[in-house]
């Protein structure tokens, strides 16, 4: 009988929230498969293991009853489903993310939003990019794609963060769930009010596509999957933008090269590798199995740490550094296997092709006055929460 993975009783959820990367580096070297008492999960920090788990859904199910996500979303979303059930719900939303729709409808919308939102930024002042640009830009674009333009940027941002806080509430505290209950009620009320508009005038937005399908999924799941898009569809592009800006502004030589070659797409890929917006994912073992010689008992929850896999020394030289022009970049930030992120191409285009070049065109000498003022937070979702930048 193989032994259980070693148990770590010292790493706290607060440690993982504030600065997880030194912890991940140590775990990759000393305990790549480890049970973390505070999280109640087995963490996997090596790229080969995280990919193996995601690529084998029969052995590692997304249907993890121990995750706080179901409580936060008041439903079992498609993120927590496998096989045909997952595929049916995923395909219900898929027409809104078709390549032609992204290119012909969503990108022109993002370009309009980017022009408006960049134009309102003041010249010559220090501005916190998180609330001034990153969050509202992501929120407005997503509201249009989902078919809920009536929601304000502030509402979309608040709902997204509340759902994220609830889904990451591994301590099962009352406060985050009370907040997510309120947010769910508000989102439900808005979606109820929008049904008539979308039924009267069908369009390519995700809500309209799901409502008007020939064989629609249940309304409760339509609502749940709109919410999963709100939860992930704001923080991923928002945090990617903030991370890339930070990486470029502390590496001005790289910034100049990116500007010269217009390599914004490369900068995007390196930013999401360096700090994965969705840092960790849960999977449930469907039978007794082994990883690196350790027993993973049936029913146990493993957590794939993409944030760590993306810096794995087996794949990357100087993985802890932001290096746009690295030889290879097989990052796992958008997942792999059946749950590969549907919003990947929207994020790549809206950040890498639209907002980054536009921002540096308007503020070519943008600078970071004090990198120490930049604040990072989050375990399951890790990103910048404060990014003061001098707009020159």
Q: What is the pLDDT of residues 9-53, one digit of tens each?
A: 999 999 999 999 999 999 999 999 999 999 999 999 999 999 999
- Does 132 have pLDDT greater than 70? yes
Torsion sign, CA atoms 237, 239, 241, 247: negative
Which residues fall within 8 angstroms of residue 61, CB to CB, at 6 or more apart? Answer: 82, 283, 284, 285, 286
Q: What is the pLDDT of residue 178?
A: 95
- Does 356 have pLDDT greater than 60? yes
pLDDT band at 160 (very low <50, low <70, confident <90, very high): very high
- Does 340 have pLDDT greater than 60? no
Q: Which domain holds residue 231?
A: 7-390
For residue 2, is it within any domain?
Answer: no
- Does 313 have pLDDT greater than 60? yes
Please give the helix or strand (H or E) that residue 384 lies within, else none: strand 383-386
Q: What is the pLDDT of residue 167?
A: 84
CA 128 vs. chain centroid, Å, equals 21
Please give the helix or strand (H or E) that residue 216 lies within, else none: none
For residue 261, is it within any domain?
Answer: yes
Percent of all residues in the chain with a pLDDT value above 90, rounded to a whole number: 77
For residue 180, is it within any domain?
Answer: yes
Mean pLDDT taken over the chain: 93
Are the CB atoms for 343 and 272 separated by under 8 Å? no
Instruction: Please provide the distance, in angstroms rounded to a whole number, between the alpha carbons at the two ends of the chain.
Output: 63
Q: How many domains would you assign to the chain?
A: 1
- Does 341 have pLDDT greater than 70? no
- Does 77 have pLDDT greater than 90? no
For residue 1, is it within any domain?
Answer: no
The mean pLDDT of 137-146, rounded to a whole number, is 97
Q: Scan for tokens 């080969």, then name that residue.
A: 48
Mean pLDDT is lowest, of 141-150, 171-180, 383-392, for 171-180
Q: What is the pLDDT of residue 380?
A: 87
Q: What is the pLDDT of residue 69?
A: 82
Q: What is the pLDDT of residue 202?
A: 97
Mean pLDDT is lowest, of 83-97, 232-246, 257-271, 323-337, for 83-97
For residue 106, is it within any domain?
Answer: yes
For residue 75, is it within any domain?
Answer: yes
- Does 337 have pLDDT greater than 70? no
The mean pLDDT of 280-290, rounded to a whole number, is 94
Residue 203: φ, ψ to 5°: -145, -175
pLDDT band at 170 (very low <50, low <70, confident <90, very high): confident
Are the CB atoms for 27 and 34 separated by under 8 Å? yes
For residue 216, is it within any domain?
Answer: yes
CATH of the domain at 301: 1.10.630.10
The mean pLDDT of 284-295, rounded to a whole number, is 97
Q: Cα dist. 262→46, 252, 266, 268, 358 in Å?
A: 32, 15, 9, 12, 11
pLDDT band at 200 (very low <50, low <70, confident <90, very high): very high
Mean pLDDT is lowest, of 83-97, 178-192, 197-211, for 83-97
- Does 343 have pLDDT greater than 70? no
For residue 20, is it within any domain?
Answer: yes
């Amino acid at each position: 009988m193989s032994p259980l993975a070693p148990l770590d009783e010292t790493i706290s959820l607060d440690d993982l929230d504030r600065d997880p990367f030194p912890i991940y580096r140590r775990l990759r070297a000393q305990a790549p498969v480890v049970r973390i008492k505070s999280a109640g999960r087995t963490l996997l920090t090596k790229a080969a293991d995280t990919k193996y788990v995601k690529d084998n859904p029969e052995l590692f199910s997304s249907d993890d009853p121990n995750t706080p996500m179901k409580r936060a979303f008041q439903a079992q979303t498609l993120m927590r489903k496998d096989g045909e059930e997952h595929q049916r719900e995923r395909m219900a939303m898929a027409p809104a993310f078709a390549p032609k729709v992204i290119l012909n409808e969503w990108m022109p919308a993002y370009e309009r939003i980017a022009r408006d939102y960049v134009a309102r930024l003041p010249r010559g002042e220090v501005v916190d990019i998180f609330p001034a640009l990153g969050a509202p830009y992501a929120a407005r674009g997503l509201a249009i794609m989902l078919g809920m333009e009536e929601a304000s940027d502030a509402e979309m941002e608040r709902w997204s963060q509340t759902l994220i806080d609830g889904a990451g509430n591994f301590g099962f505290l009352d406060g985050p769930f009370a907040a997510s209950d309120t947010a769910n009620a508000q989102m439900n009320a808005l979606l109820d009010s929008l049904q008539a508009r979308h039924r009267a005038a069908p369009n390519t937005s995700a809500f309209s596509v799901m409502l008007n399908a020939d064989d629609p999924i249940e309304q409760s799941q339509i609502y749940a999957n709109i919410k999963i898009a709100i939860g992930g569809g704001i923080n991923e592009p928002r945090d990617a933008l903030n991370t890339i800006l930070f990486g470029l502004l502390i590496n001005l030589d790289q910034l100049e090269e990116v500007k010269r070659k217009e390599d914004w797409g490369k900068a995007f890929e390196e930013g999401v590798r360096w700090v994965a917006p969705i840092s960790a994912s849960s999977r449930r073992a469907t039978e007794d199995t082994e990883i690196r010689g350790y027993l993973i008992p049936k029913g146990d929850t493993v957590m794939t740490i993409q944030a760590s896999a993306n810096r794995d020394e087996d794949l990357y030289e100087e993985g802890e550094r932001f290096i746009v022009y690295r030889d290879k970049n097989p990052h796992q930030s958008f997942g792999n296997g059946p749950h590969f992120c549907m919003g990947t191409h929207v994020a790549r285009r809206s950040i890498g092709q639209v907002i980054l070049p536009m921002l540096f065109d308007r503020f070519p000498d943008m600078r970071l006055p004090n990198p120490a003022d930049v604040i990072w937070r989050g375990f399951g979702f890790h990103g910048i929460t404060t990014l003061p930048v001098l707009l020159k």
